[in-house]
Structure 1
Amino acid sequence: MTVEIRPYEARDWDDICRIHDAARVDELRGAGLLEAYLDLAATYENEGLFDDEVWVAEHDGRVAGFIAGSVSDEGGEITWIYVDPGLYRRGIGRALVAHFVSLSGGPVELEVLDGNAARDFYEALGFVLEGTTTGKLAGNEAFTATGHTLVWRPAAASA
């Protein structure tokens, strides 16, 4: 299976909406917050989806996932990552994270909701728990949520 990562283009909008809207249900269900669901069209501006860089993953010629965040020589922060639920466990999320990490020059941080099964995925990739906070749910501030901050650090250079 080949996964190709490329920059987001405006023609990808319908695909990333479809992917987000389906995968967000899984994310919120795991956190016990399904009633907080809002679709991407209702939240992308307030949550700043396009404030940073956005990349999409293509599998068999169709958009299968996307990732967004800020990246620099000092590190980065993944702010969005979603994979089409029909394509879970096929290497798409792994390819998206690997792409993002390859662009960062240092630690990469992300936040995952408590109860989200993706936490195991991130920890399997080398992310470690740095902290836990409870506050307003990003995208639907009428709800309170607990999130875990996970950080991936590059291996120390060998001498």
Structure 2
Amino acid sequence: MTLTIRPYTQADWPAIMAIHDAARPVELRYAHLDDAFVPLKIAAEREDLFDDTLLVAEDPRQVVGFVAFTADELGWLYVAPTQFNRGIGSALVTAALEAAPTITDVEVLSGNQPARHLYERHGFQLAQTVSGHMPGNE
């Protein structure tokens, strides 16, 4: 599979909404937080998605994933569920770390072992476990 990582454009909005809204419930299910789902159309504004740097992963036919990050935090990483386990998440993490080598923080929901293993393969380590408020769900 040929994969291109490139900057987000406004034309990508429908694709990243669809990706998030399909993948986020999978993530929440790992943590038994199914009721915490908020569509990207709402979450993007609540959580200031567009204040971050956004990159998308595109195969020859369509956008298949995206990552958003700041200088110190990798805050969003979503891959279309039909594209899981194909290296897309890893490619997006690599691109984010190349663009912002000062990234030190990433949050993973409890129970999301696939995400935790992905980040650990890229050198991240568990620093703390917290519970309570989920940003964007107030």
Q: Which has the higher contact order (CA 8 A, sep 6+)?
A: 2
Structure 1 residue runs of 4 or more that deviate by more than 6 Å after TM superposition = none
* Code of the aligned partner of 1:99: A
Q: Select the structure that is richer in strand.
A: 1
**Paired position in structure 2 for 1:135:** 132
Distance 1:38 1:105 in 2: 30
Aligned sequence identity (%) = 47
User: Larger Cα Rg: Structure 1 or Structure 2?
Assistant: 1
1:60 is paired with a residue whose SS is coil
Does 1:40 find its partner at 2:44?
no
**Paired position in structure 2 for 1:92:** 88
TM-score (norm 2): 0.93
Unmatched tracts of structure 2, length 5 or more:
none
**Paired position in structure 2 for 1:126:** 123
TM-score (norm 1): 0.81
How many residues matched?
A: 137
2:132 is paired with a residue whose SS is strand
Residue pair 1:101, 1:108 contacting (<8 A) in 2 also: no
| 1:108 positional shift | 2.7
Deviations 1:29-71 (A, max 9, x none): 0000001111111211011100111110001231000000112
Q: Select the structure that is richer in helix.
A: 2
**Paired position in structure 2 for 1:113:** 109
